[in-house]
Amino acid sequence: MATLLEQVQVDTELRPAIAGRNPWALAARRLWRNRIAMASLGLFLLIVVVSVAAPLFARDVAHVNPFLPNLNGHTVVGGKVVPVMQQGGGVLKLGETPIGPTWDLSHYFLGADSVGRDVAALLLYGGRSSLLIGVGSAVLCCLAATVVALIAGFFGGVVDALLSRLMDVIWAFPVYLLAISLSTELLTHSSGFQIGPVHVDASSLWLPTIIIAFIYVPYVYRPVRGQVLSVVKKEFVEAATAQGAGNLRLIFSEILPNVASTVIVLLPLIIATTILTESALSFLGIGVQPPNVSWGSIIQDGTDLVYTRPWVTIAPGLMILLTVLSLNVLGDGVRDALDPRAKLRVEG
Amino acid sequence: MLTFILRRVLWTALVMFVITVIVFIIFFKTPGVDPARALAGRSPNAQTLAEIRAQLGLNRPFPIEYGIMMKKIFITRDLVSYSNQGVLVIPEIGQAAPATLSLVFGAALIWVVMAIAVGIAAALLRGTIFDPLLMIVALVGISAPVFWVGQMANMISQSTLHGTFLFSWVPPLGYTPFPQDPLLWFKGLVIPWITLSLLYIGFYGRVLRANLLEVQNEDYVRTARAKGISERRVLARHTLRTSMITFVSLFGLDFGALVAGSTLLTEVVFGIHGVGYLTWQAFTNLDLPTIMATTVYGAFFIVLANAVVDIAYAWLDPRIRPT
């Protein structure tokens, strides 16, 4: 008790008045104290680091090039040299079955896929594309949606009506059908295509990134626009206008900082959604194109092996599940930290 | 109310028009893509290309091209699939619809019942370990990719445990129409239903729990308790009713989206030949006319479902009518 009192006295002596505290710092502290959220952030970062290290793993640990078929290769299991593609394995005792998991990091840890490539190395490379597309399209989507929402909410009237109706129309398209339409149209040109001065290769990761970003713009636009509309009417915006602030200044220094928290709350949840969408599209053969791999396309490759070599399917699915789960839990934590009053709300 | 409905209907019609224009632009006006070549499928010959140009009136002015496409999709319904030996596209979608509807109705039944159970259980068990536990399980359901869950279910029920009594009843993958064999129809759909509903059970369970806890402190709930009504009655007559408003409106939207093609992944994994499967097949054959038709019909269905939800919502809750 005495020490507590002393501390209070010391504190009041050192600080003449209550120091103003930045709401962002407060939120960061709340988030920091949320153990479950921090654990999921740690898990997510771990997955990112491991995926980024894919080339290191392939070169220095597994000693394979996971992009080349290895139908005639050999590896070592328990001190014995065995072929990667085994004759007459599987249920039917016919044809070739790739080697199963050896649980030995340097020799086909998770086994091989249908053309003898190291699944563990593919998994890490797949994580690179999945995370790159997921995070990239979520960031693109949030940026685009915020810009449109700022314009719509700030200018209001006809501009707002037109933009909001346009968003309603995009919203109305079934997600996968819209993605299929866009990608078939773009992929029919295997040589890539030309938009003005920019040449986009058909196997470029930019295609799925842009398609996925486009699909989810309305999902971010709606809540952000609502927030802009409520901020525009506040007194401090009026005060800035009275001081002669121009439109750009009003938008960027008065309104944007006050809607940023809405976007930040949405970001982890949108990344979770875009990663799921990317994996689904790649599973269907619409997303990432060969030679690139992603978790979804590995699951697709594993379809024919699911009864004999299930780990080709299980492993990438678990990676998606863990990544998306960690982002969803983190998203909940971020929301609670930035808006403590909304503790009971669920994204919807 | 009547003006609200009228305005909503007009707006729906306008959205439908814009959707058809966007689809038209995607399929006929993508820069650098020759629409005849794209619609013709893989490696078309010159004769097919000329035929397509003549049939769809390509090279003619923009509005006429658009009009011809609309006529072929909605009025004469003779849009032809070039990569699929000239099959008529629209009747094919009609044939695929029952499979999709069977899948969605069954899954919807499961997810509504289960989500209400999960939501109420979590709200009642607040403060115990079971509430966060249930919510984490719900979050796992939301985070698992549906096609992967389907693959895992197939692996277990078709191979690993198929020999045991647990899953020996599971028929091979595929869809049996109801009139042909109702029992087989049911058996073949049980696992797809559960797979599809997992995501929604998790999501709706979370939404319902949040809404239940939110109204818990409302004045009318306190009044009801003060009157001495039993806790079960308070839940059934007071809190659950208001909490269901969000639930019902979300349900309308998700149901519409599912029927309109969001079941695609589930259909592909379980080999159910519904509208989503048809679209996916069309994609693998580069059969653009079919994709165009399913997209337009799907989007129309979603717009209609949204309109019905809005009107029903306004009818139930007069406060939101003016918008």
Closest partner CB to B26 (pick from A165, A168, A182): A182
Interface contact A317-B145, CB threshold 8 A? yes
Interface contact B38-A188, CB threshold 8 A? yes
**pLDDT at res. B148:** 93
Chain B positions touching A328 (Cβ under 8 A) are: 139, 142-143
Q: What is the DSSP string of A61-92?
A: IS---TTS--TT-EEEETTEEEESEEET-TTT
Q: Is the pLDDT of residue B201 over 90?
A: yes
Token pair of B230, please?
Answer: 């039993």
Strands B87-88, A193-195: pairing kind: unpaired
**pLDDT at res. B323:** 46
Q: Is the pLDDT of residue A135 over 90?
A: yes
- The CA distance from A239 to the nearest CA of chain B, in Å, is 30
Q: What is the mean pLDDT of residues A279-300?
A: 86
Interface of B with A in 33-62 (CB under 8 A): 33, 37-38
Q: What is the mean pLDDT of residues B137-150?
A: 92
Q: Is the pLDDT of residue A343 over 60?
A: no
Q: What is the per-residue pLDDT across B283-320, written as a single tens digit (0 to 9) for each?
A: 888 788 888 888 888 888 888 888 888 888 777 766 66
Chain B positions touching A172 (Cβ under 8 A) are: 15, 19, 299, 302-303, 306
Interface contact B207-A279, CB threshold 8 A? no
B83 vs B44, B87, B281, B286, CA distance in Å?
9, 9, 11, 7
Q: What is the pTM of this model?
A: 0.85
Whether chain B has a CB inside 8 Å of the CB on A320: the answer is yes
Q: Facing residues of A98 across strands?
A: A85
Average per-residue pLDDT for chain A: 80
Which regions of chain B does DSSP assign to beta strands (E)?
80-81, 87-88
- The 3-state secondary structure of chain A reads CHHHHHHHHHHHHHCCCCCCCCHHHHHHHHHHHCHHHHHHHHHHHHHHHHHHCHHHHHHHHCCCCCCCCCCCCEEEECCEEEECEEECCCCCCCCEEECCCCCCCCCCCCCECCCCCEHHHHHHHHHHHHHHHHHHHHHHHHHHHHHHHHHHHHHCHHHHHHHHHHHHHHHHCCHHHHHHHHHHHHHCCCCCEEECCEEECCCCCHHHHHHHHHHHHHHHHHHHHHHHHHHHCCHHHHHHHHCCCCHHHHHHHHHHHHHHHHHHHHHHHHHHHHHHHHHHHHHHCCCCCCCCCCHHHHHHHHHHHCCCCCHHHHHHHHHHHHHHHHHHHHHHHHHHHHCHHHCCCCCC
Closest partner CB to A194 (pick from B32, B207, B246): B32
Q: Is the pLDDT of residue A345 over 60?
A: no
Chain B interface disruption, residue of A173, A269, A295, A301, most B CBs within 10 A: A173
Q: Is the pLDDT of residue A12 over 60?
A: no
Interface of B with A in 254-283 (CB under 8 A): 257, 260-262, 264-265, 268, 276, 279-280, 283
Chain B positions touching A310 (Cβ under 8 A) are: 155
Average per-residue pLDDT for chain B: 84
Interface contact B148-A313, CB threshold 8 A? yes
Residue of A31, A56, A30, A55 whose CA lies nearest to A42: A31
- The CA distance from A194 to the nearest CA of chain B, in Å, is 7
Token pair of A25, please?
Answer: 């710092």
Phi, psi of A105 (to 5 degrees): -55, -35
Q: What is the mean pLDDT of residues A100-105?
A: 70
Residue of B71, B67, B104, B105 whose CA lies nearest to B90: B71
- Of B6-10, B25-29, B146-150, which gets the smallest average pLDDT? B25-29
Mapped onto helix, strand or coil, the DSSP state of residue B1 is coil
Interface contact B140-A321, CB threshold 8 A? yes
Share of residues in chain A with pLDDT > 90 (%): 19
A147-151, B56-60, B185-189: which has the highest mean pLDDT? A147-151
Closest partner CB to A299 (pick from B37, B140, B148): B148
The dihedral built from the CA positions of residue A99, A103, A105 and A107, taken in this order, carries a sign that is negative
A138 in Cβ contact with A267 (< 8 Å): yes
Buried b / exposed e over A277-293, threshold 16 CB at 10 Å, is bbbbbbbbbbbbbeebb
Residue of A164, A137, A165 whose CA lies nearest to A294: A137
DSSP A193: E
Closest partner CB to B155 (pick from A180, A310, A325): A310
Q: Which domains does chain A have, with CATH numbers?
A: 125-347 (1.10.3720.10)
Closest partner CB to A169 (pick from B22, B284, B298): B22
Whether chain B has a CB inside 8 Å of the CB on A284: the answer is yes
- Per-residue pLDDT band at B114 (split at 50, 70, 90): very high
A348 vs A104, A303, B63, B172, CA distance in Å?
44, 33, 39, 37
Round to whole Å and give the CA distance between B180 and B186.
11
Q: Is the pLDDT of residue A111 over 90?
A: no
* Identity at A92, one-letter amino acid code: L
Q: What is the mean pLDDT of residues A316-330?
A: 93
**pLDDT at res. A15:** 55
**pLDDT at res. A192:** 56
Chain A interface disruption, residue of B23, B39, B143, B245, most A CBs within 10 A: B143
How long a stretch of residues is chain B? 323
Dihedral, A314, A316, A320, A326 alpha carbons, nearest 10: 80
Count how many pairs of residues, chain A against chain B, have C-beta atoms within 8 Å.
161
Token pair of A107, please?
Answer: 């020799």
Q: Is the pLDDT of residue B7 over 70?
A: yes
Q: What is the mean pLDDT of residues A273-285?
A: 91
Whether chain B has a CB inside 8 Å of the CB on A310: the answer is yes
Token pair of A12, please?
Answer: 């009041």
**pLDDT at res. B177:** 85
Q: What is the per-residue pLDDT across B11-37, written as a single tens digit (0 to 9) for each?
A: 888 888 888 888 888 887 766 667 777
Round to whole Å and give the CA distance between B5 and B316.
13
Burial class (CB in 10 A: 0-12, 13-18, 19+), A322: middle
Cis bond before residue A291 (omega within 30° of 0) = yes
Q: Is the pLDDT of residue A348 over 50?
A: no
**pLDDT at res. A279:** 92
Whether chain A has a CB inside 8 Å of the CB on B220: the answer is no
Interface of A with B in 123-182 (CB under 8 A): 165-166, 168-169, 172-178, 180-182
- Per-residue pLDDT band at A19 (split at 50, 70, 90): low
Interface contact B30-A296, CB threshold 8 A? no
Q: Is the pLDDT of residue A307 over 80?
A: no
Round to whole Å and give the CA distance between A229 and A217.
18
**pLDDT at res. B42:** 67
Q: Facing residues of B100 across strands?
A: none
**pLDDT at res. A8:** 54
Angle at alpha carbon of residue A319, lines to B189 and B161, rounded to 5°:
40
- Per-residue pLDDT band at A10 (split at 50, 70, 90): low
- Per-residue pLDDT band at A17 (split at 50, 70, 90): low
Q: Is the pLDDT of residue A1 over 50?
A: no
Q: Is the pLDDT of residue A149 over 90?
A: yes
- Interface ipTM above 0.95: no
Q: What is the per-residue pLDDT across A224-276, written as a single tens digit (0 to 9) for each?
A: 998 898 888 888 888 888 888 888 888 888 888 888 888 988 899 999 999 99
H or E element in which residue A194 lies:
strand A193-195
- Per-residue pLDDT band at B146 (split at 50, 70, 90): very high
Q: Which residue has the higher pLDDT, B234 or A17?
A: B234
